[in-house]
Amino acid sequence: MGGSAPVLRLDGLGWSVRGVPIVQDVSFEVAEGEFVAFIGPNGAGKTSLFNLVSGIHPATQGALYLDGADITALPVPARARRGLGRTFQTSSLWPGLTVAEHVRLAAQAAAGPGASYRIWRRAGGYRQQVEQTLERTGLADRADDPAGSLSHGGKRKLELAVLLVGDPRLILLDEPMAGVSAEEVPALVELIRSVHQEQGRTVLMVEHHMDVLLGLADRLAVMHHGTLLALDTPDAVMADATVQGAYLGEAL
Amino acid sequence: MSTVVLLACTGLGLGALYFLVASGLSLIFGLMDVLNFAHGALLSVGAYAAWWAATDGGTGFWLAVVFGTVVGTAASVLLELALIRPLYVRPRDQILATVGVGLALPALLMGVWGSDARPFPQPAALSGTVGLLGATVPVNRFVLMAAALAVLVALRLFLARTRYGLIVRAGVEDRAMVTALGIDVRRAFTLVFAIGGAAASLGGALAGLYFGSVNPSQGTGLLIFAFVVVVMGGMGSVTGAAVASVGVGLVQQFANYYTAAGLGDLSVVVLLAVLLLVKPRGLTGRLA
């Protein structure tokens, strides 16, 4: 995958809870600008793996490298500041804050801890950055509405806006289409495509809809019982006999 | 009519006092899920510091109020850093620790200055009365109302207009998400504790003016009603706390006067029960 050093490298990464392995011995590399989609049945460990990468759960085995630096022991905020951004499987926003305030808070966070905690400066800064991001994600006309009033698709867009304003280099999307109505899906897919293809950001995404993935993903990763079963081009994965047997046959 | 006006002003003055205690309590619980049972003790620290400055220290009233507020704020920051902060991962121990401080500090004050109420020096300018719609109302009621109003406006501006305020509001709704964004939300905790302690100790200093004296159990007595206000207003909502404070103060005064003395407290509890039955999440619909 290109000649450059990998953006992300997992080396035997695992997570056990009270001796029960949830994620086991996962190793792979992701190159700059690559789009890797994660599939697998419910409970296969996809979200847990994302939680390990973003730092929500501490890895109990193996190591994790971002741009060659060992980030295995770093907490969530430190990983986020190094350019790692993620969305969550369930919509996770602040319903009482307005759409613009969400993006402003994210812009504050992206500007670094110093900027976030400079007291008594009006929060009105970052205006241009906030407006651009809202424009890009198609939320400009909802800027002053509380996030709680948005549709599912609107909330997903807002999550992406919150993620994108910080311009993370590595983006983890956990089922970004979940709960989104059919007519809202194309706009979201287009937004994700532009982030990946036009801005060249590296994207890891958990998604169940194969039709969405096949146009986007450079590689497909198949998770099963907490292990990485296969990681290859979509065509190769679909043709793989192990995958057919263990996942596609079983879950579909 | 004059009785109604006097009762209303006294109720609003008392409500102002409740708000000064409850606003910080509400923000502290809303942001960090800490039930701060030591909040009443912070009020007492402010009250005694102000009283000490005004008597032994020999300062004027306003300087004594400032001194009491500064000492109370310092005490709350110390409390957060030394006792609350190490216990965020052990919430039950944290509650016990604040209960302990809430008992120990008044006991300490009692040990040093005795359990009797100490008269609080009333400045000449504030000890008089004003005529309002035929009623004769003590000036200190209006001082409390003005102080509470100033704190309410300042808090609202802080929450709406500053970066810290945005972090606090988001943190009240979902703290984990703020952390996921890369903001170390704990840095806001100390500030919110300081703000809460400042408001409570200002309330303590002004309570000396309102009651005419300070005593070690004043803070704990006010804390109970402050908790009622916090639950009624919705955890983490400053505006909800303000509305609930006014309601509680007025109901208490009017019930005490028109029924039997002591029924005021009971009617506050009834008010709380009715509100929670009708609106289980408090006035603002926040999680209670």
Determine the residue of chain B that is closest to A87 in CA distance: B180
Question: Do the Cβ atoms of B64 and B53 come closer than 8 Å?
Answer: yes
Q: How many domains does chain A have?
A: 1
Contact A97 B182 (CB under 8 A): no
Q: Span B33-40, mean pLDDT?
A: 89
Looking at the partner chain, which of B162, B174, B181 has a beta carbon nearest the beta carbon of A106? B181
At B234-265, the pLDDT tens digits run 888 889 999 999 999 998 888 888 887 778 88
E strand map for chain A: 8-17, 20-30, 35-39, 61-66, 69-70, 84-86, 170-174, 202-206, 219-224, 227-232
At B174-196, the pLDDT tens digits run 888 888 777 888 888 889 999 99
Burial class (CB in 10 A: 0-12, 13-18, 19+), B161: middle
Nearest to A38 by CA among A241, A245, A226: A226
Question: Do the Cβ atoms of A227 and A234 come closer than 8 Å?
Answer: no
What are the helix (H) ranges across chain B? 2-32, 39-54, 61-79, 91-113, 124-127, 139-161, 163-173, 175-180, 186-211, 218-233, 238-258, 263-278
Q: Which residues pair with A65 in a beta bridge?
A: A9, A70
Q: What's at B249, amino acid-wise?
A: G
Instruction: From first to last of the 252 residues of chain A, give the pLDDT tens digit.
Output: 445 678 999 999 999 999 899 999 999 999 999 999 998 888 889 999 999 998 888 899 999 999 989 999 998 878 888 888 877 655 568 888 899 999 988 888 877 666 555 544 555 568 888 888 898 888 888 889 988 888 888 888 888 888 888 788 899 998 888 878 888 888 888 889 988 888 889 999 998 877 788 788 999 999 988 999 888 888 888 887 676 666 655 544
Residue that is written with structure tokens 């808070």 in the block? A105
Q: What does the alpha-carbon distance between residue B44 and residue B46 come to, in Å, rounded to a whole number?
A: 5
CATH number where A184 lies? 3.40.50.300
Q: What does the alpha-carbon distance between residue B49 and residue B70 come to, in Å, rounded to a whole number?
A: 9
Which of A79, A97, A105, A172 is best to mutate for the B interface (most B CBs within 10 A)? A105
Question: Do the Cβ atoms of B50 and B208 come closer than 8 Å?
Answer: yes
Q: Which domain holds residue A215?
A: 8-94+167-251
Q: Write down the pLDDT at residue A5.
A: 77
Contact B179 A76 (CB under 8 A): yes
Q: Write down the pLDDT at residue B287.
A: 45
Residue that is written with structure tokens 């609003």 in the block? B12
Task: Give the pair of three-digit tokens for residue A139.
Answer: 């939320």
pTM (two decimals): 0.78
Q: Write down the pLDDT at residue B4.
A: 86
Per-residue pLDDT at B288 exceeds 50: no
Question: Domains plus CATH for chain B?
Answer: 2-278 (1.10.3470)
Q: Write down the pLDDT at residue A107.
A: 86
Sequence-ordered list of residues with C-beta below 8 angstroms from that of B57, at least 6 positions apart, any chain: B64, B67
Q: Write down the pLDDT at residue A251.
A: 45
Looking at CA atoms only, how far is residue B169 from chain A in angstroms?
Answer: 8
Looking at CA atoms only, how far is residue B29 from chain A in angstroms?
Answer: 17
Q: Write down the pLDDT at residue A125.
A: 63
Q: Write down the pLDDT at residue B205.
A: 92
CB atoms within 10 A of CB A140: 15
Sequence-ordered list of residues with C-beta below 8 angstroms from that of B201, at least 6 positions apart, any chain: B42, B43, B45, B46, B47, B49, B68, B69, B71, B72, B73, B75, B76
Q: Which residues of A touch B180 (CB under 8 A)?
A: 54, 56, 76, 80, 86, 88, 92
Residue A135 included in any domain? no
Residue A42 included in any domain? yes
Residue A132 included in any domain? no
Determine the residue of chain A that is closest to B174 in CA distance: A94
Contact A80 B187 (CB under 8 A): no
Q: List, as one string, the DSSP characters of B195-240.
A: HHHHHHHHHHHHHHHHHSEE-TTHHHHHHHHHHHHHHHH-TT-HHH
Q: What percent of chain B has pLDDT over 70?
A: 99
Nearest to B231 by CA among B239, B219, B240: B240
Q: What does the alpha-carbon distance between residue A193 and residue A189 come to, in Å, rounded to a whole number?
A: 6
Contact B181 A162 (CB under 8 A): yes
At A161-217, the pLDDT tens digits run 888 887 888 999 988 888 788 888 888 888 899 888 888 899 999 988 777 887 889
Residue A189 included in any domain? yes
Q: Write down the pLDDT at residue A165.
A: 84
| Predicted complex ipTM | 0.73
Looking at CA atoms only, how far is residue B59 from chain A in angstroms?
Answer: 31
Do the bridges between strand A61-66 and strand A170-174 make them parallel or antiparallel, or are there none, so unpaired?
Answer: unpaired
The SS3 assignment for A119 reads coil
Q: C-alpha dihedral over A75, A79, A85, A90, to 10 degrees?
A: -10
Q: Write down the pLDDT at residue A1.
A: 44
Do the bridges between strand A20-30 and strand A8-17 make them parallel or antiparallel, or are there none, so unpaired?
Answer: antiparallel
Question: Do the Cβ atoms of A7 and A170 come closer than 8 Å?
Answer: yes
What angle (nearest 5°) sits at the alpha carbon of residue B162, between those of residues B158 and B167?
A: 95
Q: Span B70-82, mean pLDDT?
A: 94
Residues of chain B whose beta carbon is less than 8 angstroms from a beta carbon of chain A are: 161-167, 169-170, 173-174, 177-184, 187-188, 191
Question: Do the Cβ atoms of B283 and B275 come closer than 8 Å?
Answer: yes
Residue A99 included in any domain? no
Residue A65 included in any domain? yes
Residue that is written with structure tokens 């943190």 in the block? B171
Cα torsion B200, B203, B208, B210: sign: negative
Q: Write down the pLDDT at residue A252.
A: 41
Query: Comparing B181 with B103, which gets the higher pLDDT?
Result: B103
Task: Give the pair of three-digit tokens for residue A17.
Answer: 């809870």
Q: Which residues of A touch B165 (CB under 8 A)?
A: 123
Q: What does the alpha-carbon distance between residue B68 and residue B53 come to, in Å, rounded to a whole number?
A: 8
At B121-148, the pLDDT tens digits run 888 777 778 877 877 888 888 999 999 9
Looking at the partner chain, which of A113, A119, A166 has a beta carbon nearest the beta carbon of B164? A119
The overall average pLDDT reported for chain B is 87
Residue A30 included in any domain? yes
Q: What's at A189, amino acid-wise?
A: V
